Structure 1
Amino acid sequence: MSFLLESKIAHVILAAGSSSRMGEPKQLLAWGETTLIGHAIQQGMMLENVKTYVVLGAHYDQIYPTVKEFPITILKNENWQLGMGSSIRLVIEALERDILTYSAILISLVDQPLLDAKHLNRLIIESNQNPNMIIATDLNEIIGVPAIITKQYFKELLQLKEDFGARYIIKKHINNVQTISARGKGYDVDTQEEYNTLLKSNFPS
């Protein structure tokens, strides 16, 4: 007898980039008592009834040993140079092979450490209340990730071009998007200066 196991949301942390502007793997930068990628995974693990996927690519051999003990599914994007769209497609393909059935995917980035479990949970609550809508983060001038994209858009995610991320789907279907404000926390860590500034403001010595 076959049956479907219903799982609500698959959380994917995109961490496959080369950190070219940083000059070193940003995934492994210190954040509190862990690293940026460790912090992102820990925040995801605080969410209830959510399975966590992490996409690695560049610097895989350095990063994988630091995260392999977490109860997560790690995907290796061999084509990480092609861009974020290739990582998202890899995840959707993995979800389609999973025994669980997902109603939505929560996409987040490894370099937004202030968008923590509390923010992600607010997205989930909003998604539960509006199950047919995309729930995205209002980053002031930009509406983007973290975002929850429902199953009805999985086919479009599979068709993303390499240099297009989830923001392309959000913009395309903006009339079906609800937003949650990042409340001044939507900072990306792309350069050493940005990292140092954010680190000092959150972990003053």
Structure 2
Amino acid sequence: MEVDKLKLMLGDMNLGNYALRAAVNSRLDHVWIITGDTGADWIDDSFYEEPIRSKWSVLYCPEASMGQAYSLRCGIEAAISVETAAVMIFLADQPLVTSEMINELLQRYDKESAYDRSVNYVASICDSLPRPPVILGQRMYPDLLRLQGDQGARYLIRQDIPGICIEFDDPDLFMDVDTEEDYRFLLAKTGILKS
């Protein structure tokens, strides 16, 4: 797209704010917004009010435009620096992800990783394909730091690493906006007309 898709209007907010709202309203401890620009000016003013403001931070990643592996690396390095036991990866251009979905993944990860130490991740899947959001345990950090270019967590999940997949039947939850056509489809799907 020729425009910043996260700034596209969807109802009364920019598109990027929907996934952020789901994340800060979930059980996640903290949300890092990994961005290639220093401003992240798509974030709605309401996110700067407490108590929401204390639940998120912007992490500038100058190499973000070089491929998703670079954004992942920035996030994993931040997680390592504060000794985070696991991270959840989700995309700001997935506006239909819900807090309930995030919480379901968190609950399953907490339960499974406490019971079975070999569980490295809990991934959401639809139509047998792993898709974000996905939770990755600390044991996967070294592998994530070695990813290159446009390789993402899906590349690792397909490597027969022990983990859990949760099937979500609603493909709309995974809708992301990469093209003008995707945006028009999203507007039609949600019943929101572009003003």
Q: TM-score scaled to structure 2, two decimals?
A: 0.83
Provide the residue aligned with 1:90 in structure 2: 74
- 2:41 and 2:186 map into 1 onto residues whose CA distance is 25
Unaligned runs of 5+ residues in structure 1 are 1-21
Question: Aligned to 2:88, what secondary structure does the other structure show?
Answer: strand
Return the structure number with greater strand share.
Answer: 1
Q: 1:190 aligns with which of 159, 178, 184?
A: 178
Q: Compute the displacement of 1:184 (Å).
A: 2.1
Question: Aligned to 1:66, what secondary structure does the other structure show?
Answer: coil
Provide the residue aligned with 1:64 in structure 2: 41
C-alpha distance 174-180 of structure 1, shift in aligned 2 (>3 A): farther
Preserved contact between residue 120 and residue 163 of structure 2 (Cα < 8 Å):
yes
Preserved contact between residue 170 and residue 177 of structure 1 (Cα < 8 Å):
no
C-alpha distance 117-192 of structure 1, shift in aligned 2 (>3 A): same
Q: Map 1:1-205 to 2 at 5 A.
A: 22-57=1-36, 60=37, 63-64=40-41, 66=43, 69=48, 70-71=53-54, 72-98=56-82, 101-131=83-113, 132-173=119-160, 175-185=162-172, 186-204=174-192
Deviation per CA, 1:82-136, whole angstroms, max 9, x where unpaired? 20000111111112222xx322110001111112111111111111121124111
> Counterpart amino acid of 1:193?
E
Unaligned runs of 5+ residues in structure 2 are 114-118
- 1:85 and 1:108 map into 2 onto residues whose CA distance is 14
Q: Compute the displacement of 1:152 (Å).
A: 0.9
Preserved contact between residue 77 and residue 90 of structure 1 (Cα < 8 Å):
yes
> Counterpart amino acid of 1:117?
S
- 1:173 and 1:150 map into 2 onto residues whose CA distance is 15
- 1:180 and 1:128 map into 2 onto residues whose CA distance is 17
Q: Compute the displacement of 1:53 (Å).
A: 0.3
> Counterpart amino acid of 1:96?
I
> Counterpart amino acid of 2:7?
L
What is the Cα-based RMSD across aligned positions, in Å? 2.0
Preserved contact between residue 120 and residue 161 of structure 2 (Cα < 8 Å):
no
Question: Aligned to 2:177, what secondary structure does the other structure show?
Answer: coil
Q: TM-score scaled to structure 1, two decimals?
A: 0.79
Deviation per CA, 1:53-77, whole angstroms, max 9, x where unpaired? 00111xx256337368343111111
